[in-house]
Amino acid sequence: MIVGEQKPLEEIWEMVKVHKQLTVFGCNTCVAVCHQGGNKEAGILASLLRMKATQEEVDIEIVDSGIERQCEHEFFESVRDLMNRSEAVLSLACGIGVQFVATKYQTLPVYPALNTTFLGDVIAVGHFTEKCQACGDCVLGLTGGVCPVSRCCKRLMNGPCGGSSNGKCEISKEIDCAWQLIVDRLEALGRLDDYEKIPPLKDWSKDRAGGPRSFKLEDM
């Protein structure tokens, strides 16, 4: 899922305080899982902003709302009237949702309440870690299900560097060496011989090098 972190309240306030009306708009899928941008968080942020407006003596009407996903047209049906009467939208979605709102409502100012951080998993309650960089040419089949692109700080494709020590990366003691994990995993699978094999060159043209990517189903 997509992980995001809410921006500091001051930064959000500076963006939105020029408006007379603001809709704080949650996105109840990925960013709700990390407790940063769901409809509940939209309610909390709207409340904090209303109190901020009272403190600063700024006249601004702040309402909160939300939908299940801000990256698909269908979900916006239920908020058509709200969007039409909104002067500005503070979106708690990831960068995708914010841009979707901006594209869908051409004359409606939209602001991001979150910093979209990474594609990750939930390894424990409230603990999210990066696991994928959407490089477009998955190598997990070769690396025993551990991604060297997202989990090796140097994105190395051919084994650990000299900075790997006791299974940790030289960047931080908190970060596992991805190649140590790959070797351990291949060993556990009885596939350590595969580590010696030279894999084909990775196709980096499917990464960001070719500009923004798209994918279209021909049968739909």
Partner 1 sequence: MTADGEKIEERQSPEKPCEIPPDWKANIIAFACHYCAFAAADLAGVMRLSYLPNSKVIRLPCTGKLDHIYVLRAFERGIDGVFVAG
Contact footprint for partner 1 (CB under 8 A) = 40, 43-44, 47-48, 50-51, 54-55
**Amino acid, single-letter form, for residue 62:** I
Query: For residue 205, what are its two tokens?
Result: 């043209």
CB of 110 to partner 1, least distance (A): 24
CB of 32 to partner 1, least distance (A): 14
Specify whether the CB–CB gap between 90 and 114 falls below 8 A.
no
Instruction: Report the candidate in 129, 91, 97, 134 with the shortest Cα–Cα distance to residue 109.
Output: 91
Q: Name the DSSP class of 198.
A: -
Specify whether the CB–CB gap between 108 and 115 falls below 8 A.
no
CB of 13 to partner 1, least distance (A): 11
Specify the residue, 44 or 79, whose C-beta has the smaller distance to partner 1.
Answer: 44
Specify the residue, 13 or 128, whose C-beta has the smaller distance to partner 1.
Answer: 13
Task: Report the 10 Å Cβ neighbour count for 160.
Answer: 20
Specify the residue, 113 or 178, whose C-beta has the smaller distance to partner 1.
Answer: 113
What does the DSSP assignment read for 103-132? HHSTTS-EEE-EEEEEEEEEEETTEEEEEE
CB of 39 to partner 1, least distance (A): 11
Specify whether the CB–CB gap between 45 and 23 falls below 8 A.
no
CB of 44 to partner 1, least distance (A): 5
CB of 1 to partner 1, least distance (A): 22
Residues in the chain: 220
Q: Is the dihedral of CA 91, 93, 94, 95 positive or negative?
A: negative
Find the angle CA(62)-CA(68)-CA(70) to the nearest 5 degrees: 70
Specify the residue, 21 or 165, whose C-beta has the smaller distance to partner 1.
Answer: 21
Specify the residue, 64 or 176, whose C-beta has the smaller distance to partner 1.
Answer: 64
Specify the residue, 60 or 142, whose C-beta has the smaller distance to partner 1.
Answer: 60
